Amino acid sequence: MTTYNTSDFRKGLKIQIDGVPYLMVEMNFRKPGKGNALYECKMKNLVRGTIMDRTYRAGQTLEAADVVEFPAQFLYRQQDSFVFMNTSSYEQYELTKEQMGDAWQYMKDGLECTLMVYNNNPLTVTPPNHVVLRVEYAEPAAKGNTATNVQKPVKVETGAEIQAPAFVNTGDYLRIDTRTGEYIERAKAPEE
C-alpha cells in the first residue's frame, strides 16, 4: 500500500484513515518557533461527506486511499438516483442526489464525466468544466432595461436554475462553468 509523508501533503490528495477514504481539501504548513513543523489539514470523508480537521507533525505518514477514477457516461435519472456507465467496461453505477452534490444540475443524457469509486461503490462524480444546456424557461426582459450586468434566473433543461444576463431567452443554449455554476456565454446548439 502506498503511503504519503507529510512533505507530500497537498490539496486534492486522497488518503485513508481507519479504512475510510478522505480527500484533503485544505492543507496549511505552520512552523512554530520551537519544535517540529505542523501540517494542519482539513479532510472530507468521501463516504459520508463530513469534514474533519487533523494536525500532523513533520515526518508522519498517511496511507493512500484505494479510490479509482475513470471516465463514465451519464445514462439517465430515475427520481433521486443517477445512473452512470464506465465507458471502458460498460459497468453501471448508481449515485444518489446527496452523492451528486451540485453536479446534478449539469447532468444531461450522454454527458461524459469522471466517476470516483471506492471498493466498487461509487462516491462522487465530476462533470466536465463546461457544459452547454438549453434554456427551458426565461422571463422576458424588461423593455428599455439596457443597464449592464442585469441578471435574471433562467431554468435550464436539467431542471436547475442559474443566473444569466437579461438578454437570454427561452430556447437559447448557454455555456455554463460547472465549477462555479456561472453563465459564461451563449452557445450554438450542440450537434446531435
Greatest Cα pair distance in the chain: 67
In words, the CATH class of domain 130-187 is mainly beta
Question: Do the domains 3-64 and 67-126 sit in the same CATH topology, yes or no?
Answer: no
pLDDT tens-digit readout, 50-82 = 899 999 988 889 998 888 889 999 999 888 899
CB environment 98-127: b (16+ within 10 A), e (fewer): ebbeebbbbbbeebebebbbbeeebbbbeb
pLDDT tens-digit readout, 76-118 = 988 889 999 999 999 999 998 888 888 888 888 889 999 989 8
- Topology of domain 3-64, per CATH? SH3 type barrels. (2.30.30)
For the chain, the domains span 3-64, 67-126, 130-187
Q: Please tell me the predicted confidence (pLDDT) of residue 147.
A: 59
Do residues 117 and 93 make contact, with C-beta atoms less than 8 angstroms apart? yes
Q: For residue 34, what is the DSSP state?
A: S
- Angstrom CA distances, 70 to 44, 84, 129, 145, 155, stand at 20, 11, 16, 47, 30
Q: Would you tell me which CATH number, out of the four given (1.20.1050.90, 2.40.50.140, 3.40.630.10, 3.20.20.140), belongs to the domain 67-126?
A: 2.40.50.140
Is the whole model's pTM more than 0.85, yes or no?
no
Q: Give every CB contact of residue 34 below 8 A, 6+ residues apart in sequence.
A: none
Between residues 134 and 147, the one the model is more confident about: 134
